[in-house]
Structure 1
Protein backbone atom coordinates (compact mmCIF):
# COMPACT_ATOMS: atom_id res chain seq x y z
CA UNK A 1 0.00 0.00 0.00
CA UNK A 2 1.50 3.38 -0.93
CA UNK A 3 2.36 5.68 1.93
CA UNK A 4 -0.21 8.27 0.84
CA UNK A 5 -2.98 5.66 1.21
CA UNK A 6 -1.75 4.83 4.70
CA UNK A 7 -1.70 8.50 5.62
CA UNK A 8 -5.25 8.94 4.35
CA UNK A 9 -6.40 5.91 6.37
CA UNK A 10 -4.84 7.28 9.56
CA UNK A 11 -6.25 10.75 8.93
CA UNK A 12 -9.72 9.26 8.43
CA UNK A 13 -9.50 7.61 11.86
CA UNK A 14 -8.39 10.79 13.58
CA UNK A 15 -10.84 13.03 11.76
CA UNK A 16 -13.92 10.83 12.27
CA UNK A 17 -16.95 12.49 13.75
CA UNK A 18 -17.06 12.47 17.55
CA UNK A 19 -19.34 10.03 19.31
CA UNK A 20 -22.43 11.44 20.94
CA UNK A 21 -24.43 10.14 23.89
CA UNK A 22 -27.84 8.66 23.22
CA UNK A 23 -30.62 11.11 22.36
CA UNK A 24 -32.18 10.66 25.82
CA UNK A 25 -28.90 11.52 27.55
CA UNK A 26 -28.45 14.55 25.27
CA UNK A 27 -31.79 15.85 26.53
CA UNK A 28 -30.97 15.06 30.17
CA UNK A 29 -27.68 16.94 29.94
CA UNK A 30 -29.39 20.00 28.46
CA UNK A 31 -32.08 19.93 31.14
CA UNK A 32 -29.53 19.40 33.92
CA UNK A 33 -28.02 22.77 33.04
CA UNK A 34 -31.44 24.42 32.69
CA UNK A 35 -30.98 25.14 29.00
CA UNK A 36 -33.92 25.38 26.64
CA UNK A 37 -33.88 23.95 23.15
CA UNK A 38 -34.02 27.51 21.85
CA UNK A 39 -30.95 28.56 23.85
CA UNK A 40 -29.03 25.58 22.54
CA UNK A 41 -30.26 26.20 18.99
CA UNK A 42 -29.20 29.85 19.18
CA UNK A 43 -25.74 28.89 20.42
CA UNK A 44 -25.28 26.31 17.65
CA UNK A 45 -26.96 28.52 15.02
CA UNK A 46 -29.64 25.99 14.13
CA UNK A 47 -33.42 25.93 14.50
CA UNK A 48 -35.00 24.68 17.73
CA UNK A 49 -36.66 21.95 15.66
CA UNK A 50 -33.18 20.67 14.82
CA UNK A 51 -32.38 20.27 18.53
CA UNK A 52 -35.70 18.48 19.03
CA UNK A 53 -34.79 16.05 16.25
CA UNK A 54 -31.31 15.44 17.65
CA UNK A 55 -32.77 14.77 21.11
CA UNK A 56 -35.47 12.46 19.79
CA UNK A 57 -33.09 10.47 17.60
CA UNK A 58 -34.86 11.45 14.38
CA UNK A 59 -31.65 12.92 12.95
CA UNK A 60 -27.97 13.19 13.86
CA UNK A 61 -25.94 16.39 13.70
CA UNK A 62 -23.44 16.74 10.88
CA UNK A 63 -20.23 18.75 10.75
CA UNK A 64 -19.51 21.37 11.92
CA UNK A 65 -22.44 21.19 14.35
CA UNK A 66 -21.56 17.67 15.49
CA UNK A 67 -18.18 18.76 16.84
CA UNK A 68 -19.63 21.77 18.66
CA UNK A 69 -22.56 19.75 20.03
CA UNK A 70 -20.25 16.96 21.17
CA UNK A 71 -18.04 19.50 22.95
CA UNK A 72 -21.04 21.03 24.71
CA UNK A 73 -22.36 17.62 25.77
CA UNK A 74 -18.92 16.54 27.03
CA UNK A 75 -18.61 19.69 29.14
CA UNK A 76 -22.12 19.21 30.52
CA UNK A 77 -21.36 15.54 31.29
CA UNK A 78 -18.34 16.63 33.30
CA UNK A 79 -20.46 19.18 35.14
CA UNK A 80 -23.44 16.83 35.71
CA UNK A 81 -22.15 13.23 35.77
CA UNK A 82 -25.46 11.88 37.09
CA UNK A 83 -27.23 13.15 33.98
CA UNK A 84 -25.21 10.77 31.82
CA UNK A 85 -27.09 7.75 33.17
CA UNK A 86 -29.71 6.38 30.81
CA UNK A 87 -33.22 7.34 31.91
CA UNK A 88 -35.29 4.47 33.23
CA UNK A 89 -38.67 6.04 32.55
CA UNK A 90 -40.69 9.21 32.49
CA UNK A 91 -41.74 10.80 35.74
Structure 2
Protein backbone atom coordinates (compact mmCIF):
# COMPACT_ATOMS: atom_id res chain seq x y z
CA UNK A 1 0.00 0.00 0.00
CA UNK A 2 1.38 3.44 -0.90
CA UNK A 3 2.07 6.10 1.71
CA UNK A 4 -0.95 8.27 0.76
CA UNK A 5 -3.25 5.30 1.24
CA UNK A 6 -1.75 4.56 4.65
CA UNK A 7 -2.24 8.18 5.66
CA UNK A 8 -5.86 8.05 4.51
CA UNK A 9 -6.45 4.82 6.46
CA UNK A 10 -4.89 6.39 9.54
CA UNK A 11 -7.19 9.40 9.29
CA UNK A 12 -10.29 7.27 8.94
CA UNK A 13 -9.38 4.94 11.77
CA UNK A 14 -8.13 7.75 13.97
CA UNK A 15 -11.42 9.58 14.27
CA UNK A 16 -14.05 6.93 13.69
CA UNK A 17 -16.71 7.05 16.40
CA UNK A 18 -19.05 4.34 17.66
CA UNK A 19 -22.78 4.96 17.53
CA UNK A 20 -24.07 7.46 20.12
CA UNK A 21 -25.57 4.88 22.49
CA UNK A 22 -22.24 3.04 22.67
CA UNK A 23 -20.44 6.30 23.41
CA UNK A 24 -22.63 6.71 26.47
CA UNK A 25 -22.25 3.07 27.51
CA UNK A 26 -18.47 3.29 27.33
CA UNK A 27 -18.46 6.40 29.50
CA UNK A 28 -20.77 4.82 32.05
CA UNK A 29 -18.79 1.56 32.08
CA UNK A 30 -15.71 3.59 33.00
CA UNK A 31 -17.59 5.40 35.75
CA UNK A 32 -17.05 8.78 34.12
CA UNK A 33 -19.41 11.73 34.11
CA UNK A 34 -20.10 13.89 31.08
CA UNK A 35 -18.29 16.70 32.91
CA UNK A 36 -15.15 14.57 33.30
CA UNK A 37 -15.17 13.64 29.62
CA UNK A 38 -15.78 17.26 28.61
CA UNK A 39 -12.92 18.51 30.78
CA UNK A 40 -10.55 15.88 29.37
CA UNK A 41 -11.37 16.90 25.79
CA UNK A 42 -11.65 20.62 26.48
CA UNK A 43 -15.32 21.17 25.66
CA UNK A 44 -18.50 21.92 27.57
CA UNK A 45 -20.59 19.16 29.13
CA UNK A 46 -23.43 20.03 26.77
CA UNK A 47 -21.24 19.05 23.81
CA UNK A 48 -20.66 15.59 25.26
CA UNK A 49 -24.38 15.23 25.97
CA UNK A 50 -25.20 16.13 22.37
CA UNK A 51 -22.57 13.72 21.01
CA UNK A 52 -24.01 10.91 23.12
CA UNK A 53 -27.55 11.74 22.00
CA UNK A 54 -26.54 11.84 18.34
CA UNK A 55 -27.72 15.45 17.98
CA UNK A 56 -24.23 16.74 17.12
CA UNK A 57 -20.82 15.49 16.06
CA UNK A 58 -17.50 16.75 17.40
CA UNK A 59 -15.39 18.95 15.15
CA UNK A 60 -12.07 17.64 13.80
CA UNK A 61 -9.70 18.25 16.73
CA UNK A 62 -12.27 17.33 19.35
CA UNK A 63 -13.33 14.34 17.28
CA UNK A 64 -9.80 12.92 17.33
CA UNK A 65 -9.53 13.37 21.09
CA UNK A 66 -13.00 11.92 21.69
CA UNK A 67 -12.35 8.95 19.38
CA UNK A 68 -9.06 8.30 21.18
CA UNK A 69 -10.79 8.35 24.56
CA UNK A 70 -13.54 6.02 23.34
CA UNK A 71 -11.00 3.57 21.87
CA UNK A 72 -9.18 3.44 25.21
CA UNK A 73 -12.45 2.91 27.06
CA UNK A 74 -13.45 0.17 24.60
CA UNK A 75 -10.16 -1.64 25.29
CA UNK A 76 -10.92 -1.58 29.02
CA UNK A 77 -14.63 -2.30 28.66
CA UNK A 78 -15.14 -4.48 25.57
CA UNK A 79 -18.64 -5.56 26.64
CA UNK A 80 -19.82 -1.95 26.60
CA UNK A 81 -18.40 -1.49 23.10
CA UNK A 82 -19.95 -4.67 21.71
CA UNK A 83 -23.45 -3.22 21.33
CA UNK A 84 -22.85 -1.25 18.15
CA UNK A 85 -20.54 -0.39 15.32
CA UNK A 86 -19.24 2.80 13.77
CA UNK A 87 -21.67 5.45 12.66
CA UNK A 88 -19.28 6.56 9.93
CA UNK A 89 -19.91 10.27 10.48
**Which TM-score applies when normalising by structure 2?**
0.79
Asked whether 1:28 is paired with 2:20, we answer no
Which ranges in structure 2 are unaligned for 5 or more consecutive residues? 85-89
Q: Distance in 1 between matches of 2:62 and 2:29?
A: 21
SS of structure 1 residue aligned to 2:67: helix
Shift of 1:18: 1.7
Bigger relative contact order, structure 1 or 2 (CA pairs below 8 A, ≥6 apart) = 2
Match of 1:18 among 15, 20, 39: 15
> What secondary structure is seen at the aligned counterpart in 2 of 1:64?
helix
Structure 1 residue 62, shift from structure 2 partner? 1.1
Aligned to 1:43: 40
**Residue 60 of structure 2 aligns to a residue in which SS?**
coil
CA offset digits 1:11-33 (Å, max 9, x no partner): 87244462100000000000001
- CA-atom RMSD in angstroms: 2.0
Larger radius of gyration: 1
Structure 1's consecutive aligned runs of 4 or more residues displaced over 6 angstroms after TM superposition are none
Partner residue, 2:61: 64
The two structures have a TM-score, normalised by structure 1, of: 0.77
- Equivalent pairs counted in the alignment come to 80
Residue 53 of structure 1 pairs with residue 45 of structure 2: no
